[in-house]
Amino acid sequence: MSLVVKIGKAGKAVLRRALPQPEPHLCYTRRIERICTKKRICAMTFDDGPMNLPASPDRFSGRALTEVLLDTLAQYGAKGTFDVVGDTSENYPDQAGKNGSPAWGGIKYDHYPDIQQDGQGGALHNKRLIRRMLDEGHQITNHGYRHIIFGKKPFVYGKRVFLGSYEAAQADLKRLHGLLSEGYGYEMTMGRPPHYVDKVEPGLSAYDIYAALGYQYLAASFDGGGWLPSVNQNPETALEAEVRAMVEPMRSALEKDPDFFCGQIIFQKDGYNMARRTPVAYGLGQQLELLQQYGYRVVTVAELMAESPFSDLGREDADFEKLKELQKIRAVVYSDNRLRLDRHMSIGELAMLLCPRDEALSRRMAAIRSGEKLGPYSGALAWCAEQKLLPDLTKAGKAGWNAPITALPEAYFEATSDFTRRSVYRAARLDRLK
């Protein structure tokens, strides 16, 4: 791994511990890192493809890297989730950075599969690979048409051009969404921001953009390691070290706990690492064989979420089926994909349960655009006040929104004297909320 990335990851960890982190809040878009299940199923995601250039080094007779990955997945009966880009050929003028650095493929922009090789990557140029993904039952998600970061990322990508506005980021995502929808009849339902840069502009983030598109935020809970370059100067020795870095952490985790990967999402790379090698072409089969030995099935993230859409509640829970239906129509899950059912429900959370989705989202966006610095439940609170379901607390501040509820509107709920989030959701009348 390059020194810059090492320092960046360490610095980020320090800041996360030292600075107060945003509190999770009820949100229509949740960060999906893993789901709650006792079954030995997991998912693998592959970023930045498809790639029509061969593996590096090439030991597959010139077959495209994405083709090699698809062959390997098929060999083990596994399904992948491909987080694809559209086309990076518009990302010029630009020049390559130092090999082995985060800017290896471009200083101002990313270029996939490599700088001056844009026509060999992306969904626009690789219809055959996209069609094969779909025909073989893999999932495709949205990694941005041009793979331009949404907002600033000063440390590692301080020289990078960024989109910088909600509208620009949404237009970029819609462009790729339309390519898949119109070209293949395929509707994407998830997205992962380029380089995980969430903030777009003050008050708005990737969560807001994805909510408007009806997406969930595709994250991961385990790093498959295929994007990390070895510092070894000998290419063959470096490749061997990179493959070991993919396989051994997985082996160690399984030896300690055979159920470790239940419900997890594994991050992979469909392209070169920062040293322009593709250890994923050689390490993926070893990873899949290891998972198979422990009885795992590798499925799409969509299939994982069909097992459970939550990270803290599984099918064995008595309220699972109702909550699974409820989350389809209302924001009842926190942005970190947890339900936290033992908490006392707050007024802001009740507003999100009562308010229709479109009203909650459009009113909050209008408030932000008018310059009002209101909380995440402002749109829902405003609608509930207009309907005379709740007092007007839109400007009451965090203390007002977080105040515990003491009663429920009878028209929307069965009788209950317990106001934990579990009890309120259990009492909710789905027929009135739809």
State the Cα–Cα distance between residues 397 and 383, nearest whole angstrom.
17
State the Cα–Cα distance between residues 134 and 88, nearest whole angstrom.
22
Q: How confident is the model at residue 202 (pLDDT cuts 50, 70, 90)?
A: confident
Q: What is the pLDDT of residues 57-76, one digit of tens each?
A: 999 999 999 999 999 999 99
- Mean pLDDT to the nearest integer, 172-199: 97
State the Cα–Cα distance between residues 108 and 317, nearest whole angstrom.
49
Going by the DSSP 8-state scheme, the letter that residue 25 receives in this structure is -
Q: Which amino acid is at 423?
A: S
Q: Write the CB contacts of 5 (distance below 8 Å, at least 6 apart in sequence).
A: 102, 156, 228, 274
Determine the pLDDT at residue 23: 85
Element (H or E) spanning 352, and its range? helix 347-354
Q: How confident is the model at residue 6 (pLDDT cuts 50, 70, 90)?
A: very low
Residue 227 half-sphere exposure toward CB, CA atoms < 13 A: 20
State the Cα–Cα distance between residues 170 and 270, nearest whole angstrom.
24
- Mean pLDDT to the nearest integer, 326-354: 97
- Mean pLDDT to the nearest integer, 338-348: 97
Q: What is the pLDDT of residues 129-183, one digit of tens each?
A: 999 999 999 999 999 999 999 999 887 888 999 999 999 999 999 999 999 999 9
The answer to whether 69 touches 78, Cβ cutoff 8 Å, is no
Q: Which of 146, 267, 153 is nearest to 199 (CA)?
A: 153
Given a cut of 80, is residue 237 above it in pLDDT?
yes
Q: How confident is the model at residue 14 (pLDDT cuts 50, 70, 90)?
A: very low
For 54, the 3-state DSSP assignment is: strand
The answer to whether 85 touches 122, Cβ cutoff 8 Å, is yes
Domains recognised in the chain with CATH numbers: 28-304 (3.20.20.370), 319-433 (no CATH)
